[in-house]
Amino acid sequence: MTLPSTYADRNCSLARALEVVGERWTLLIVRDAFFGVRRFGDFVTQLKIPRAVLADRLKLLVREGVLTREEGPAVEYRLTPKGVELWPVVRTLMTWGDAHYSPAGAPRSVRHDHDGGLLDPGGRCERCGQLVPVAETRVEPGPGFDPADEGHDPVSDAINTPRRLLDPIG
């Protein structure tokens, strides 16, 4: 969209949410942000997204309060609390994709960093039963990870090493 025509069904929260994160690329950008990507160039190399589209989406996400744009020695985009609240959406979509498009198992595992327990569909640690907050969540290559995807670019490699969510790469 870049919000040209909006969905008609204004009485549905889903439609409103989709106006923000429902376009092509948007949710992938958010996912990368969870995985520690913060720099414009890193989004480009990891997602292979056209730079103009990325610039548009980042502006939209900043305007909607999902990301902040921070000018330090380098420009950094970071998730706001509102953006962090998208984690259940990203997680459930990944789970669905794993279940139906990864016959060899999930390419990425999501664990409770404290005890290494896998997360169940509801987001609870299967080991301690706790609802795992984003900051205590660790992602790492899973049983279905394809090693052929290693070595293409340093950003992807960084993302594919075990790490806690929101920890910056590099």
Partner DNA sequence: CGGGCTGGTTCGGTGACCGAACCACAACGT
Partner DNA sequence: ACGTTGTGGTTCGGTCACCGAACCAGCCCG
Count of residues engaged in binding DNA, rule: CB under 7 A = 25
* 54/116 Cα distance (integer angstroms): 34
- Quick one: which of 17, 89, 23, 1 has its CA closest to 9? 17
* 37/169 Cα distance (integer angstroms): 6
Q: CB nearer to DNA: give 30 or 58.
A: 58
- Edge-to-edge strand ranges of the sheet holding 137-141: 108-112, 137-141, 163-164
Distance of alpha carbon 133 from the chain centroid: 15
49 binds DNA (CB under 7 A): yes
Q: Which residues bind its own copies (CB under 8 A)?
A: 1, 7-18, 21-24, 27-28, 31, 46-48, 65, 82, 85-86, 88-90, 92-102, 106-108, 121-124, 131, 145-146, 149, 156, 160
> Please, what is the minimum distance in Å from the beta carbon of residue 31 to its own copies?
5
Using CB distances below 5 to 8 A depending on partner kind, what does residue 31 bind out of DNA, its own copies, none? Answer: its own copies
64 binds DNA (CB under 7 A): no
List Cα–Cα distances, 103 to 80, 97, 98, 140, 163, in angstroms: 34, 10, 8, 18, 24
> Please, what is the minimum distance in Å from the beta carbon of residue 26 to DNA?
9
29 binds DNA (CB under 7 A): no
Pick one of 48, 100, 148, 151: the residue that binds DNA (CB under 7 A).
48
